[in-house]
């Protein structure tokens, strides 16, 4: 996350669009990045789509109109622009869950992703950038990104352990199962552990009061399962940046 890069913002024309455009501009200014806005069109981009973005204050040179549904449009724009950070809403209407589009984008591990819940404010504040660590071998990538993001935004960096000793044993056992033929945990057990991990993220976000929370995750790992829990998006007070090592 270096100054001068691209901050790609997925934007629709729903009720959250004005505040999300403002969020992208505030983040871009704080990190000295260039904001680019991508909008997916069901059919070939037309004058109506351009007019809707103009009404949101998005200039012609800031927009990418991609044909296709939102996840496909976002993926195409990310491939084209190689952004330093992709910014999306947790859901279209700001409710307490992870929406279809955010859930689909979360499965792609191509770029760093910032997910903004409905309760989060627009601007990056003078609060610290908090990086959740102790999840495993991807911690270093999360810390590196959090450090450069904090430096670009002129914010303090703080590290917080998310996994307790008993959790570490359980997560190590789950990683071991991937390399040997042993029975996997029942879905209810995995869901329960993901709920616990999601609640730990919420606790960190509340206790540390960060401007953003940074976590490393790849599809299928324990953190990725926690990131899909409504527990997280209904209660976390700040955006969550997901780093894909």
Q: How far apart are CA 61 and CA 231, in angstroms?
A: 38
| Position 73 confidence tier, pLDDT thresholds 50, 70, 90 | confident
Which of 3.40.50.620, 3.20.20.140, 3.40.50.2000, 3.40.50.720 would CATH assign to domain 129-243? 3.40.50.620
| Rounded (10°) CA dihedral 227, 233, 235, 240 | 70
Average pLDDT of the residues in 188-216: 84
pTM for the full predicted model: 0.84
pLDDT-derived band at 71, boundaries 50, 70, 90 = confident
- Mean pLDDT, the chain, whole residue set: 81
At residue 29, does pLDDT exceed 80? yes
CA distances from 3 to 33, 35, 148, 206 (A): 5, 12, 9, 29
Span of 92-96, 106-110, 145-149 with lowest mean pLDDT: 92-96
Q: Does residue 243 surpass a pLDDT of 50?
A: yes
Top pLDDT among 138 and 24 is at 24
Task: For residue range 105-133, list pLDDT tens digits in order.
Answer: 888 777 899 998 876 665 677 789 999 98
**For residue 35, what pLDDT band results from cuts at 50, 70 and 90?**
very high
Task: Check whether 160 has a pLDDT greater than 50.
Answer: yes
Q: Is 150 exposed, middle or buried (0-12, 13-18, 19+ CB in 10 A)?
A: buried
pLDDT greater at residue 194 or residue 216: 216
pLDDT-wise least confident of 10-14, 43-47, 83-87, 104-108: 43-47
The answer to whether domain 6-116 has CATH 1.10.10.10 is no
Nearest CA to 63 out of 8, 2, 138, 134 is that of: 8
Question: Mean of the pLDDT values across residues 150-155?
Answer: 88
- Cα separation, 242 vs 236, in Å, equals 14
Domain with CATH 3.40.50.620 in the chain: 6-116, 129-243
Query: Residue 176: which pLDDT band, with cuts at 50, 70 and 90?
Result: low
User: What pLDDT is recorded for position 187?
Assistant: 47
């Amino acid at each position: 996350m270096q100054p001068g890069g691209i901050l790609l913002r997925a934007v629709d024309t729903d009720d959250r669009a004005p505040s999300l455009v403002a969020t992208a501009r505030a983040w871009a200014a704080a990190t000295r990045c260039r904001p680019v806005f991508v909008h997916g069109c069901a059919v070939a981009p037309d004058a109506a789509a351009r007019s809707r973005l103009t009404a949101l204050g998005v200039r012609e040179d800031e927009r990418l109109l991609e044909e296709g549904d939102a996840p496909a449009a976002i993926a195409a724009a990310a491939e084209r622009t190689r952004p330093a950070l992709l910014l999306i809403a947790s859901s279209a209407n700001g409710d307490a869950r992870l929406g279809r589009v955010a859930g689909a984008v979360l499965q792609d591990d191509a770029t760093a992703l910032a997910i903004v819940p409905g309760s989060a404010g627009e601007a990056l504040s003078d609060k610290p950038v908090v990086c959740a660590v102790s999840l495993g071998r991807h911690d270093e990538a999360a810390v590196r990104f959090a450090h450069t993001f904090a430096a670009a935004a002129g914010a303090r960096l703080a590290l917080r352990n998310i996994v307790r000793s008993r959790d570490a044993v359980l997560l190590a056992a789950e990683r071991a199962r991937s390399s040997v033929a042993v029975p996997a945990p029942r879905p209810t057990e995995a869901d329960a552990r993901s709920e616990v991990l999601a609640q730990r993220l919420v606790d960190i976000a509340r206790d540390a009061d960060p401007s953003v929370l940074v976590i490393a995750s790849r599809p299928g790992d324990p953190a990725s399962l926690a990131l899909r829990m409504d527990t997280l998006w209904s209660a976390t007070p700040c955006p969550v940046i997901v780093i894909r090592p």
